[in-house]
Amino acid sequence: MKALVKTAPGPGLSLVDVPEPAVGPGEVKLRVLRTGICGTDLHIDAWDGWSARTIKAPLVLGHEFVGRVVEVGAAVTKVREGDLVSGEGHLVCGTCRNCRAGRRHLCARTIGLGVHTDGAFAEYAVIPEQNAWVHSHPLDLDIAAIFDPFGNAVHTALSFPVLGEDVLVTGAGPIGLMAAAIAKHAGARHVVITDVSEHRLDLARKLGVDVALDVSGAKVADVYPVLAMTEGFDVGMEMSGQPSALREMIANMTNGGKIAMLGLPATEIPVDFAAVVQKMITLKGIYGREMFETWYAMSVLLQGGLDLAPVITHRFHHTEHERAFATARAGNCGKVVLDWES
């Protein structure tokens, strides 16, 4: 089968022939239909310091995907051949304290699909049955392919109640865009999103945010008179990993405000913790999805009319992977999807 592989240490990926994976007990085999390109994939392609420390080549990349089940292993009880499945890319141990308590997203021995073990940038992929989310309602394949980052957005956006609240989202990358759309769909009074990319801010406007603010020339506080706000934001979602964004968010939270942080900083961030204490602000770190409550919420949101179509801006056949990765890296895009059908 064809697969997109990091064949050796160093920059670049290769579309090569590799053996089809065999299905084992408790596993399901998928014919991959669509995959989404993630920032992690870009890091592995570029072979930065994190990749050099983490990735062991050869490795099939990819953890955002949807496929059709073509084979099930012994002991599989619920997933059936023909099911349309998206995959949870965090493979947990099942035996640690958090796993046994039902908090699988907190497993300390998590293995990342497409990072620590072969992933789904291939014609076929094998995953544990417990990591397969079967779609029981009709769903666009491109949307089904990005359930992984969509789950990050849902986990972040619904960490704190947003109904009737004023919400600030810093960072209009694909996950930030989805989080803003979710907050608005869930009943937030005002949703403000910030970035320095006019292209991505325009995507945010298409998703229905109240204000999409270019912070290269404006301050968050500038939106207060526009939205008749006086006391700051109730809920913050930091998606950028930028130090200035977190500091600006803390400065603009109301007393008792709550911040969910998904953006992963590249360096340590100096923070005004006196403001955090004096305003009694809650900071919560977010990583991945709550398995599988978040997945349930994702399906319900889409069935309830949440429209993520504007987030997907580019589609390429998998044989055009170089163009696809270049597009994703350039940043003037939302989600970039690869088609793996013949």
Tell whether the model's pLDDT for residue 265 goes beyond 80: yes
Residue 267: pLDDT band (50, 70, 90) is confident
Q: In whole angstroms, what is the distance from residue 36 CA to residue 2 CA?
A: 17
- Clarify whether residues 26 and 106 are in a common domain: yes
CATH of the domain at 330: 3.90.180.10
- Clarify whether residues 101 and 40 are in a common domain: yes
- Clarify whether residues 176 and 264 are in a common domain: yes
Report the sign of the C-alpha dihedral through residues 300, 304, 306, 309, in that order.
positive
The residues annotated as belonging to the active site are 40, 43
Which string of DSSP letters, residue by residue, matches 207-259?
TT-SEEEETTS--GGGGHHHHT--S-EEEEEE-S--HHHHHHHHHTEEEEEEE
Is 300 within the bounds of a domain? no
Percent of the chain residues topping a pLDDT of 90: 97
**Closest Cα partner for 181 from 283, 23, 304, 280?**
304
Tell whether the model's pLDDT for residue 342 goes beyond 80: no
- Clarify whether residues 112 and 178 are in a common domain: no
Task: Please report, in range form, the residues annotated as the binding site for Zn(2+).
Answer: 38, 63-64, 93, 96, 99, 107
- Clarify whether residues 166 and 248 are in a common domain: yes
- Clarify whether residues 6 and 135 are in a common domain: yes
- Clarify whether residues 114 and 28 are in a common domain: yes
Is 142 within the bounds of a domain? yes
- Clarify whether residues 138 and 171 are in a common domain: no
Percent of the chain residues topping a pLDDT of 70: 100
pLDDT at 273: 95
Q: pLDDT per residue over 176-224, tens digit each?
A: 999 999 999 999 999 999 999 999 999 999 999 999 999 999 999 999 9
Is 295 within the bounds of a domain? no
Is 69 within the bounds of a domain? yes
- Clarify whether residues 112 and 165 are in a common domain: no
Task: Give whole-number Cα distances, 105 to 63, 130, 176, 298, 328, in Å.
Answer: 16, 13, 20, 16, 27
Tell whether the model's pLDDT for residue 260 goes beyond 90: yes
pTM value is 0.95
- Clarify whether residues 9 and 141 are in a common domain: yes
Task: Please report, in range form, the residues annotated as the binding site for NAD(+).
Answer: 175, 195, 200, 262-264, 286-287
Q: pLDDT per residue over 301-328, tens digit each?
A: 999 999 999 999 999 999 999 999 999 9
Is 335 within the bounds of a domain? yes
- Clarify whether residues 129 and 162 are in a common domain: no
pLDDT at 176: 98
- Clarify whether residues 275 and 187 are in a common domain: yes
Is 312 within the bounds of a domain? yes
pLDDT at 266: 82
Task: Please report, in range form, the residues annotated as the binding site.
Answer: 38, 63-64, 93, 96, 99, 107, 175, 195, 200, 262-264, 286-287
Contacting residues for 2 by C-beta, under 8 A, at least 6 apart? 15, 16, 17, 18, 122, 123, 318
Q: pLDDT per residue over 54-80, tens digit each?
A: 999 999 999 999 999 999 999 999 999
Is 232 within the bounds of a domain? yes
Q: Which domain holds residue 178?
A: 154-285
CATH of the domain at 238: 3.40.50.720
Is 94 within the bounds of a domain? yes
pLDDT at 87: 96
Count of structural domains, the chain: 2
Find the mean pLDDT for residues 84-110.
95
